[in-house]
Amino acid sequence: MRSCPRPLPSNSLSLRTEKEKDPKYWRDQAQQTLKNALGLQKLNTNVAKNVIMFLGDGMGVSTVTAARILKGQLHHNPGEETTLEMDKFPFVALSKTYNTNAQVPDSAGTATAYLCGVKANEGTVGVSAATERSLCNTTQGNEVTSILRWAKDAGKSVGIVTTTRVNHATPSAAYAHSADRDWYSDNEMPPEALSQGCKDIAYQLMHNIRDIDVIMGGGRKYMYPKNRTDVEYEMDEKARGTRLDGLNLVDIWKSFKPRHKHSHFIWNRTELLTLDPYTVDYLLGLFEPGDMQYELNRNNVTDPSLSEMVEVAIQILQKNTKGFFLLVEGGRIDHGHHEGKAKQALHEAVEMDRAIGQAGTMTSVEDTLTVVTADHSHVFTFGGYTPRGNSIFGLAPMVSDTDKKPFTAILYGNGPGYKVVDGERENVSMVDYAHNNYQAQSAVPLRHETHGGEDVAVFAKGPMAHLLHGVHEQNYIPHVMAYAACIGANLDHCVAARSASSPAPGPLLLLLVMLPLRILF
């Protein structure tokens, strides 16, 4: 288990404070930033051989800021001045996250937007807004394909890495078409949907795009027949197989792979780290029956970290000379927030930032477009006039001027942290508010904290990253990624780009900026 941030040594903060008292410190910093910005006037208009999308589920701007501070404090710094890996990306935009029928969205409709390029109803994946949630008979004819499919059709390798179930909302929009995000296996589907011919999401993972090169995350139990004992949790009934159709989807996955190719199914960290990725053609890694463990709770023997999975995925995918598309989800940021457990959520965000850094060391901005964004925000906030270097999980420096009780800097607008003791707000000084599973106080009592509806950030670097530059509809994102990679339907600019890129790819692609973006459908 990771330790919480230690109190900042007073000399560390005082040394930094002394330096910051000198106006030259700030002026020099600003001038260097200006110099870096001026360097961006020469746009990177190469063709993106590779595209990597990092999706922080529930990673709103307040979460990004708090994760930045946590990262710094884990390195015994004040934290506020720390730079996340995503902070280093030269282009930043805002994404409007609403679903077609929801002001405050869910992760399924948003995933359809940023992967398939069209907005959709909440709770649906890989279908247009003509499909209504839970109504199987509204699915047929309304399916929409994703950038993962476009990349595979173009001959690229493709991969999915997540800390949730591999058939959860975010990854499922890459390959499935479902009227309901909760149809993980046929066990979770209503009889009517089954009789109408709809297939569960785990089934679609193995059948819709049979040659996904890398799949890693949780979700083992949805691949096996009902009540089959789990390989890791033999005595846990909740970990047993769920499928009513009796199918073993792992065996089916294996049967679909060509005999001359090397395919591997693994279920623990040891197997992952002992693989020789350069001899692996297809990899299916299912490390938990459901979602993977929180980073703070992770078993270092059985469960790999997100950055470890990303490293192996890229090693496998980058063998393809045509390049690759990789979707990486830090999915349990969202879960931590829903449970009111800010410490869990923020450590998940810091781990995703490590994975972003790992990917950056293995790729080049010359031929790899990397996009980091979120599907939606949460009603998570931190404030209270905390002093510089205050533990991100600490108390505000004053008590409430109304009930005379202390409060933590981190709070939620709603959620399970709402507690009343003897008719009054709980006194947080009487509880361990630094505990990994402490539920921060909320204004409104709910069993599960809710999403937020504000715009989320989009960070981009690499070829054509400058096309993510302002305030955009969320469904714009995959159109940019496809345009940069010359995949999908919008290919008018690609012939000139490819012919010119043979000796030295680069500015000749000014044509790319001039051509209008045509819709991919």
Residue 504: count of CB within 10 angstroms of its CB:
9
Strand 324-330 to strand 50-56: parallel, antiparallel, or no bridges (unpaired)?
A: parallel
According to DSSP, the residues that pair with 162 across neighbouring strands are 329
**What whole-number distance in Å separates Cα of residue 501 and Cα of residue 493?**
12
Number of H helices, E strands in the chain: 16, 19
Strand locations in 257-384 (E): 263-266, 282-286, 324-330, 368-374, 377-378, 380-382
Check 62, 107, 185, 377 and give the catalytic one: 107
Instruction: Give bridge partners of residue 263 from the DSSP assignment.
Output: 282
Could you give the CA distance from residue 349 to residue 393 in angstroms, rounded to a whole number? 15
Q: Decide if 364 is catalytic.
A: no
The answer to whether 489 and 414 are in contact (CB under 8 A) is no
Supply the DSSP symbol for 420.
E
C-alpha span between 363 and 365 (Å, rounded)? 7
By the 8 A CB rule, do 1 and 296 touch?
Answer: yes
Strands (E) in 432-507, as ranges, are 442-445, 451-452, 456-461, 471-473
| 81, two tokens | 């001045």
CB 306 within 8 A of CB 351: yes
In sequence order, the 6+-apart residues with CB closer than 8 A to the CB of 101 are 121, 122, 129
SS3 annotation, 267-314? CCHHHHHHCCHHHCCEEEEECCCCCCCCHHHCCCCCCCCHHHHHHHHH
Active site residues: 107
